[in-house]
C-alpha cells in the first residue's frame, strides 16, 4: 500500500466509523475485518453504480414520437390511485437533464449506471408500427455520454412500461404474442446499442410486476379478483401465473437472440432481475419453516427456477396444480439452452413468515393460495423483523440480506449476481423539511448495514459482481408518486434542481475507500 493510499484509507475509515459507528450490524462485523485484513473484498472489475428506470426518471412522456404506455394511461385515468395524484409525465426530466445527472454520477465515483429502455419511445406501436429513430438516438447519445465519462451502461430492456397499444390489442402479458413483441424489442436494442452495452438484463422484477398487476391489481393492468383485491376484471388465482409464464418465456427468447446472434461478437452478458425479500420462519415449527420456503418459491424462485433450471419450484406445482401453466418439452429445452449469464437481485426488506396451509390464518398479505399460504408479518409478538420504518414494507434487516445471498448461492451454485437495487425510502410527511431530507442519516445507516452484509455474504462465497444503489435521484415511486424519496440526490420538484444528500458523500467515500484498498487499482 502506498503511503498516500493508506493515509486516505485511515481518513475514510475514521469518517465511516464516525458516520455509522452506532450501527449494530456494522459494528459487529467490521471491527474484525479491519484488524485482520485491510484489503477490499470487492475485485477491481466490481461495478459500483446507481439504478433508475425509464418511467420513473425520463419524463418527456410525449416528446419525439413517444407513444403512451401502460403507466401513462394508468396514471392519467386513475390519479386517485397515486398517493400525490401525480404521474411520470415530467418525472425528473432525465430525458433533457442526463448530462447533469452524469456529473452527479462522476461526483459519486461510480463506474456503472443502470437504466431501462422506454419501449414506447423506440417502438411506439410495438411490431404494429415503425421503429422510432428519435428514441434510438436518445439512447445512443446517453450511452456515449456515459462511456465517455467512465461509466458502463447496465441496461434493463424492460422495467414495467410497455406501449399501451399492446394492452388494447391483445392484453399484453396474458398472451404468448407478448413474447414475440419482447423478442423484437430485445433484438432491436442489441442491434443498435450492443456494440457499447456489455451488461443487459431482460425484465425487471417479473414477480413483483405480476403480483401487483394481476394478484392485487394495484398496478396496471389492474386485474384481480376478491379477496386479493378490488378490480373490475381479472382472476388472481390463474392470470398471474399465465402472465409470469409469458414473461419467463419472453426472457428466454431475448437471451436466446442475444446468445445466438450477438454475444460472440459483442462479448457482453445477459441476465434477469428479480425482487427478493428474506423470509424468516416465525417459529421453529416445521410448518412455519416450510411456509418460509414456500414464500421464497412463490416469489423469486418462481422466476429464477425456470430461468436457470427450466422448471417451476415444486411448492408451486403442488399448491397450484392445473392453474400453473406447464412448459412444453421444447420450451424446457429452450429455457435450459438460454440460461441467463447472471441474476440481478433487487433487495430491500425481510418478513417473518407464518404457515397458513396446515393452520388457519386470518386474512393478510400472503395468506391465500395464489401467494403460497405463507402469511408475511413484520412482528413476532413484540419483536419486529429488523427496524420498522415509515414505509410499511421496509424493515431494516441487513442480516436478512446476508441470508438471502447465501440462499441464492445454495440454490444456484456459483451463479454470478449483481445487486441491481438496494436502498432506503424516506416517506415525505407534511411536516418534513428539506433539511431533514438532505441530512439522511437513516439512509446512511441502511446502506452501511446492507453493504456490510453484502461483504459478509461474499466472504461466505456469494459470487457478487456489482452493487447498484436505488437510486441516484429522488424519482416517481409508482403508487407513492413523488412522496417516497429514494435518492442519494434530492430533487426539488418545482425547479427539478438536484442537491446531493449526506448519503451521496457517504457512498462516494465508501467507493473511494474500496478502490484505494485494492492497492493496484489506483
Which amino acids are annotated catalytic?
A: 421
Tally of CB atoms within 10 A around 286: 11
- 3-state SS, residue 223: coil
Q: Rule CB under 6 A: which of 382-441 touch ligand NAG? A: 382
132 versus 394: smaller Cβ distance to ligand NAG: 132
Distances (CA, A) of 456 to 8, 33, 451: 23, 10, 9
Position closest to ligand NAG via CB: 65
At its nearest, how many Å lie between ligand NAG and the CB of residue 219? 15
| Dihedral over alpha carbons 35, 36, 38, 43 (to 10 degrees) | -150
Q: From the list 106, 168, 230, 286, which residue makes contact with ligand NAG (rule: CB under 6 A)?
A: 230
Binding mask 320-349 toward ligand NAG (x if CB under 6 A, else -) reads ------------------------------
At its nearest, how many Å lie between ligand NAG and the CB of residue 75? 16
Q: Rule CB under 6 A: which of 243-302 touch ligand NAG? A: none
Q: Does 130 bind ligand NAG (CB under 6 A)?
A: yes
Binding mask 38-77 toward ligand NAG (x if CB under 6 A, else -) reads --------------------------xx------------
At its nearest, how many Å lie between ligand NAG and the CB of residue 80? 9
Q: Does 124 bind ligand NAG (CB under 6 A)?
A: yes
Enter the C-alpha cell of residue 493. Answer: 420538484
Single out the segment in contact with ligand NAG by CB under 6 A; choices: 124-132, 323-331, 428-436, 505-513: 124-132
Single out the segment in contact with ligand NAG by CB under 6 A; choices: 128-136, 178-186, 292-300, 494-502: 128-136
Q: What is the separation of C-alpha 317 from the centre of its chain, rounded to a whole number of angstroms?
A: 26
Q: Does 132 bind ligand NAG (CB under 6 A)?
A: yes
**Closest listed residue to residue 451, CA positions, set 153, 112, 41:** 41
**Residues in CB range of 254: below 8 A, 6 or more apart:** 157, 182, 183, 186, 202, 270
**Closest listed residue to residue 374, CA positions, set 287, 271, 439:** 287
**Closest listed residue to residue 194, CA positions, set 155, 162, 160, 161:** 155
Tally of CB atoms within 10 A around 35: 8
As a 3-state breakdown, the chain gives helix, strand, coil percent values, each rounded to 5, of: 50, 15, 35
At its nearest, how many Å lie between ligand NAG and the CB of residue 160? 22
Cis peptide, bond prior to residue 471, ω within 30 of zero: yes
At its nearest, how many Å lie between ligand NAG and the CB of residue 121? 9
3 versus 80: smaller Cβ distance to ligand NAG: 80
At its nearest, how many Å lie between ligand NAG and the CB of residue 52? 23
Residues that bind ligand NAG (CB under 6 A): 64-65, 124, 129-130, 132, 134, 230, 381-382
Amino acid at each position: 500500500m502506498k503511503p498516500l493510499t493508506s493515509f486516505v484509507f485511515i481518513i475514510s475509515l475514521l469518517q465511516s466509523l464516525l458516520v455509522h459507528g452506532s450501527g449494530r450490524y456494522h459494528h459487529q462485523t467490521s471491527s474484525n475485518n479491519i484488524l485482520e485484513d485491510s484489503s477490499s473484498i470487492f475485485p477491481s472489475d466490481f461495478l459500483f453504480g446507481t439504478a433508475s428506470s425509464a418511467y420513473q426518471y425520463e419524463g418527456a412522456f410525449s416528446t419525439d414520437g413517444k407513444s403512451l404506455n401502460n403507466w401513462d394511461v394508468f396514471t392519467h385515468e386513475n390519479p386517485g390511485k397515486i398517493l400525490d395524484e401525480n404521474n411520470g409525465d415530467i418525472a425528473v426530466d432525465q430525458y433533457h437533464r442526463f448530462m447533469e445527472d452524469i456529473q452527479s454520477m462522476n461526483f459519486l465515483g461510480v463506474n456503472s449506471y443502470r437504466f431501462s429502455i422506454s419501449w414506447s419511445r423506440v417502438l411506439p406501436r410495438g411490431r404494429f408500427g415503425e421503429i422510432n429513430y428519435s428514441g434510438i438516438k436518445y439512447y445512443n447519445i446517453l450511452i456515449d455520454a456515459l462511456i465517455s465519462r467512465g461509466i458502463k451502461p447496465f441496461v434493463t430492456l424492460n422495467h414495467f412500461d410497455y406501449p399501451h397499444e399492446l394492452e388494447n390489442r391483445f392484453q399484453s402479458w396474458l398472451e404468448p404474442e407478448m413474447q414475440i413483441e419482447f423478442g423484437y424489442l430485445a433484438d432491436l436494442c442489441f442491434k443498435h446499442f450492443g456494440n457499447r452495452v456489455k451488461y443487459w438484463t431482460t425484465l425487471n422484477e417479473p414477480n413483483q410486476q405480476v403480483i401487483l398487476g394481476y394478484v392485487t391489481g394495484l398496478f396496471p393492468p389492474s386485474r384481480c379478483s376478491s379477496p386479493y383485491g378490488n378490480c373490475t376484471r381479472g382472476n388472481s388465482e390463474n392470470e398471474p401465473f399465465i402472465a409470469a409464464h409469458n414473461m419467463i418465456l419472453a426472457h428466454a427468447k431475448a437471451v436466446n437472440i442475444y446468445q445466438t446472434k450477438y454475444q460472440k461478437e459483442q462479448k457482453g452478458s445477459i441476465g434477469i432481475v428479480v425482487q427478493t425479500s428474506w423470509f424468516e420462519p416465525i417459529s421453529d415449527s416445521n410448518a412455519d419453516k416450510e411456509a418460509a420456503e414456500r414464500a421464497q418459491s412463490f416469489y423469486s424462485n418462481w422466476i429464477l427456477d425456470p430461468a436457470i433450471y427450466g422448471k417451476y419450484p415444486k411448492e408451486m406445482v403442488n399448491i397450484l396444480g392445473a392453474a400453473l401453466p406447464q412448459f412444453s418439452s421444447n420450451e424446457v429445452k429452450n429455457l435450459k439452452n438460454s440460461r441467463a449469464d447472471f441474476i440481478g437481485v433487487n433487495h430491500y426488506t425481510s418478513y417473518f413468515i407464518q404457515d397458513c396451509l396446515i393452520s388457519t390464518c386470518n386474512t393478510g398479505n400472503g395468506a391465500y393460495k395464489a401467494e403460497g399460504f405463507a402469511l408475511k408479518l413484520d412482528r413476532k409478538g413484540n419483536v419486529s423483523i429488523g427496524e420498522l420504518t415509515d414505509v410499511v414494507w421496509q424493515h431494516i434487516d441487513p442480516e436478512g440480506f446476508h441470508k438471502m445471498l447465501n440462499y441464492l448461492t445454495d440454490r444456484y451454485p456459483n451463479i454470478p449476481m449483481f445487486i441491481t437495487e438496494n436502498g432506503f425510502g424516506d416517506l415525505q410527511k407534511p411536516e418534513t423539511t428539506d433539511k431533514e431530507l438532505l441530512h439522511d442519516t437513516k439512509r446512511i445507516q441502511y446502506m452501511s448495514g446492507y453493504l456490510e452484509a453484502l461483504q459478509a455474504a461474499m466472504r461466505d462465497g456469494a459470487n457478487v459482481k456489482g452493487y447498484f444503489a436505488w437510486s441516484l435521484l429522488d424519482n416517481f415511486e409508482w403508487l407513492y408518486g413523488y412522496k417516497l424519496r429514494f435518492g442519494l440526490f434530492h430533487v426539488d420538484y418545482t425547479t427539478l434542481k438536484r442537491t446531493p444528500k449526506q448519503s451521496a458523500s457517504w457512498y462516494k467515500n465508501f467507493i473511494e475507500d474500496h478502490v484505494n484498498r485494492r492497492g493496484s487499482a489506483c
